[in-house]
Amino acid sequence: MLRVASLNINGVRASHRRGFGDWLATRGCDVVTLQEVRAPVAALPEDAFGDYHVVYEPGQIPGRNGVAVLTREAPVAVRPWDAEVLVRAPGEDHLHTEPAVDDLPLARGLGRHAHEGRYVEVDLAEAPVTVASLYLPKGGLPAHLQVPGRMREEPDGGARYERKMRFMAAFARQLARTRRAAAARGREFLLTGDLNVAHTRLDVAAWRRSQRAEGFLPEEREWIGAQLSPRTLVDVVRSLHPGVEGPYSWWSWLGRAYERDAGWRIDYHLATPRLARTAVSAVVDREHRGVRLSDHAPVVVDYAVGALTR
């Protein structure tokens, strides 16, 4: 069994204060992918990633983004978008190392994001699987939906929205290439992370009033749908929880959204069909010992990967 968890940690230092280290040590995960680690290497807490091998792409924007993949065994290969990542074995001092050169070029439009710490992938040693961690931009509203005085952020004429849509278009091209490259290596592919888009009405508690909100716009939902099919990628959590609301993975800190379970499902496991068929359970760890680790919660899936080698 391979237990894989994905969590937008929303700052590793803050999450450690809430008990992330204890969750990591006791949850029994084989692989943990993280988004929004938001710490330069020198500022990582002691034992930030527990007793795991870590691949951490911090990005080059201080205090922003940052993605990681934690594994029980050292990965066979590491592929970030940027030129350098932190690779560390349990008990080692932090160090930077150049990743193996990969012959898969970035899709057109992704180069401008390569320094932002949004993506890293590894080939697992314990199973024929490539696992990726992605933090997709949050974005914003298109210009025609921006109403001054009704927004938490200052109107920007749709700049954040357009940037997100450009990223999504470029990433769709990259995702297809990456999935095919994994297959060429004899591996299944698993994309995990915070995609900042809810796919269907079942994925947002207040879906009616969210239809004109970033993250649930028709064109964003259409993009998610275009990445999914029985022959390419499968939404693993939804396949195990068909026809039900949620399970949500993000709740605002404001009001009583968490207590009312008025959340969004924006954190995903998207797997190639053969890998998706091995998934036997999917749960969202809403809290750990009565404490929320982040405004997101870990999405934990168990894969019976022994079937992949039969």
**What is the tens place of the pLDDT at every residue in 40-96?**
988 898 889 999 999 999 998 877 899 999 999 999 999 999 778 899 999 887 666
pLDDT band at residue 189, thresholds of 50, 70 and 90? very high
Above 70 in pLDDT, residue 101? no
Domains in the chain with CATH codes:
2-309 (3.60.10.10)
Least confident interval from 169-178, 208-217, 220-229, 245-254 = 208-217
Sheet holding 129-135, edge to edge: 77-80, 119-123, 129-135, 188-194, 267-271, 234-235
Instruction: Tell me: pLDDT of 203 over 60.
Output: yes
Segment among 46-55, 220-229, 237-246, 264-273 with least mean pLDDT:
46-55
Average pLDDT of the chain is: 91
Work out the angle between the directed axes of helices 159-184 and 218-227 (0-180°, nearest 10). 0
pLDDT reported for residue 124: 97
Alpha-carbon distance of 189 to 186, in angstroms, equals 10
pTM for the predicted model, two decimal places: 0.95
- Per-residue pLDDT band for 145 (boundaries 50, 70, 90) equals confident
Residues 22 and 25: their CA atoms lie apart, in Å, by: 5
CA atoms within 13 A on the CB side of 57: 30
> Looking at the predicted structure, is the pLDDT value of residue 99 above 60?
no
Return all residues near 107 (Cβ < 8 A) that are at least 6 apart.
170, 171, 173, 174, 177
Q: What is the per-residue pLDDT for 98?
A: 56
How far apart CA 4 and CA 304 sit, in angstroms, is 11
